[in-house]
């Protein structure tokens, strides 16, 4: 659920005692803003390279000039910028080699203009733009409307993270929520979603590497959030995969894994695997009965 409350309400909901309390976290806000801006600059540089390689030097030039404004020493910028500017020069007949780019995405350098764009993006619930604009404003003019910009950066990061996780982009979503939490305490809904996303990601990290660990993490998440992502399906598949791994060495343990998978979803193939493991378990668990040879008759010697 997105939040776009008036700033005072946002600050109170975040557990802050007004703008004064928010100002106490200025260094944290600046750090988060700088990190977000660095990521944005790296992304713009990569996109500029793709635009240039794809025959769009004018669009690449816009992106690179945006990077140059905030990070003139960015690695590789000077070389690529020179090549792009040369390619973007008009030809002899006054035309350029490419079609005009889409409307400029470069941000204004004037703090007042940046702030106005930020307010428009905030009212439109355009959270990616809110994060980009607030980060840029904090980096270029950290003292300009710092309380308002900081509060809106928090809301933008929080809502962007929530939206990303709900769409299945857990990595970016976790990152944005963690950055928001550096600025102010997250609300209960955001903290809950962040916890679930972390648990799901941890469980996935054990997939195919350590099945007991993966099962344990999925099972814990399933106990508190059974409908988060595809947790139930992943848990069932983890049980089945572990059972298939065990059946050659411990059929009895494999049978338990298949049975646990069937508790989550009844599937004919799982039942067949469980029965096969059960039969193999009976064979391997019951030691063969060794026949005791009959004692040899004792011959009594004749008197």
Pair 179, 224 in one domain: no
Task: Please check whether residue 237 lies inside any domain of the structure.
Answer: yes
Claim to verify: residue 78 and residue 183 sit in the same structural domain: yes
> For 265-282, how does the pLDDT look when each residue is reduced to its tens digit (9 = 90+)?
999 999 999 999 999 999
- Domain holding 11, by residue range, is 7-91+107-187
Verify that 183 and 211 share a domain, yes or no: no
pLDDT at 152 over 70: yes
Place 135 in a pLDDT band, splitting at 50, 70 and 90: confident
| Tens digit of each residue's pLDDT (9 = 90 or more) over 65-83 | 777 766 777 778 888 888 8
pLDDT band at residue 261 using 50, 70 and 90 as cut-offs: very high
- Angle (deg, nearest 10), helices 127-140 and 26-53: 110
Per residue in 217-233, pLDDT (tens digit) is 999 999 999 999 999 99
Spatial separation of the C-alpha atoms in residues 237 and 162, rounded to whole Å? 27
- Of all residues in the chain, the percent with pLDDT exceeding 70 is 73
Nearest to 130 by CA among 106, 144, 150, 104: 150
Is residue 171 very low, low, confident or very high in pLDDT (cuts 50, 70, 90)? confident
- Exposed, middle or buried by CB within 10 Å (0-12, 13-18, 19+), for 236? buried
Joined together, the tokens standing for residue 245 give: 């791994």
pLDDT for 148 beyond 80? yes
Q: Using the 8-state DSSP alphabet, how is residue 286 labeled?
A: S
Position 195 in a domain: no
52 and 144 assigned to the same domain: yes
Confidence of residue 36 (pLDDT cuts 50, 70, 90): low
In a domain, 123, yes or no: yes
- 95 pLDDT exceeds 70? no
Asked if 180 and 223 sit in the same domain, the reply is no
Predicted local distance difference test score (pLDDT) of residue 104: 41
Count of beta carbons in the 10 Å neighbourhood of residue 30: 16
Banded pLDDT at 212 (limits 50, 70, 90): very high
Do 149 and 247 lie in a common domain? Answer: no
- Is residue 194 domain-resident? no
Quick: pLDDT tens for 100-129: 444 445 566 788 888 999 999 999 999 998
If asked whether residues 232 and 172 sit together in one domain, one would say no
| Judgement on whether residues 255 and 174 belong to the same structural domain of the protein | no
Domain count, the chain: 2
My answer on whether 153 and 180 are in the same domain is: yes
Q: If phi over 0 gives left and psi between -120 and 50 gives alpha, with beta otherwise, what is residue 297?
A: beta
Q: Are residues 39 and 166 in the same domain?
A: yes
If one compares 290 and 189, the residue with the highest pLDDT of the two is: 189
Query: What is the distance between the alpha carbons of residues 245 and 279, in angstroms, rounded to a whole number?
Result: 17
Q: What is the pLDDT of residue 91?
A: 43
My answer on whether 156 and 222 are in the same domain is no
Regarding whether 173 and 42 lie in a shared domain, the answer is: yes
SS (H, E, C) 84-141: HHHHCCCCCCCCCCCCCCCCCCCCCCCHHHHHHHHHHHHHCCCHHHHHHHHHHHHHHC
């Amino acid at each position: 659920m997105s939040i776009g409350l008036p700033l005072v309400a946002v600050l109170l909901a975040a557990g802050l005692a007004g703008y004064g309390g928010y100002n106490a976290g200025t260094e944290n806000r600046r750090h988060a803003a700088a990190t977000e801006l660095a990521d944005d600059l790296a992304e713009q540089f990569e996109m500029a390279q793709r635009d240039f390689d794809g025959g769009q030097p004018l669009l690449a030039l816009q992106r690179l000039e945006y990077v140059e404004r905030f990070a003139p020493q960015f690695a590789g910028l000077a070389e690529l910028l020179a090549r792009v500017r040369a390619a973007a020069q008009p030809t002899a007949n006054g035309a350029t080699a490419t079609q005009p780019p889409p409307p400029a995405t470069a941000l204004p350098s004037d703090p007042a203009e940046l702030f106005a764009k930020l307010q428009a993006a905030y009212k439109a619930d355009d959270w990616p733009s809110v994060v980009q604009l607030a980060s840029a404003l904090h980096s270029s003019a950290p003292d300009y409307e710092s309380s308002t910009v900081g509060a809106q950066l928090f809301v933008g990061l929080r809502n962007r993270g929530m939206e990303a996780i709900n769409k299945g982009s857990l990595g970016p979503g976790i990152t944005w929520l963690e950055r928001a939490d550096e600025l102010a305490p997250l609300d209960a809904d955001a903290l809950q979603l962040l916890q679930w996303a972390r648990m799901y990601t941890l469980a996935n990290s054990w997939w195919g590497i350590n099945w007991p660990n993966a099962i344990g993490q999925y099972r814990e998440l399933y106990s508190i959030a059974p409908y988060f992502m595809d947790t139930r399906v992943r848990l069932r598949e983890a049980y089945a995969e572990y059972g298939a791994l065990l059946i050659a060495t411990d059929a009895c343990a494999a049978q338990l894994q298949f049975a646990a998978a069937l508790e989550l979803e009844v599937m004919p193939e799982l039942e067949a695997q469980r029965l096969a493991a059960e039969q193999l378990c009976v064979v391997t668990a019951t030691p063969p009965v060794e026949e005791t040879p009959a004692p040899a008759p004792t011959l009594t010697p004749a008197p």
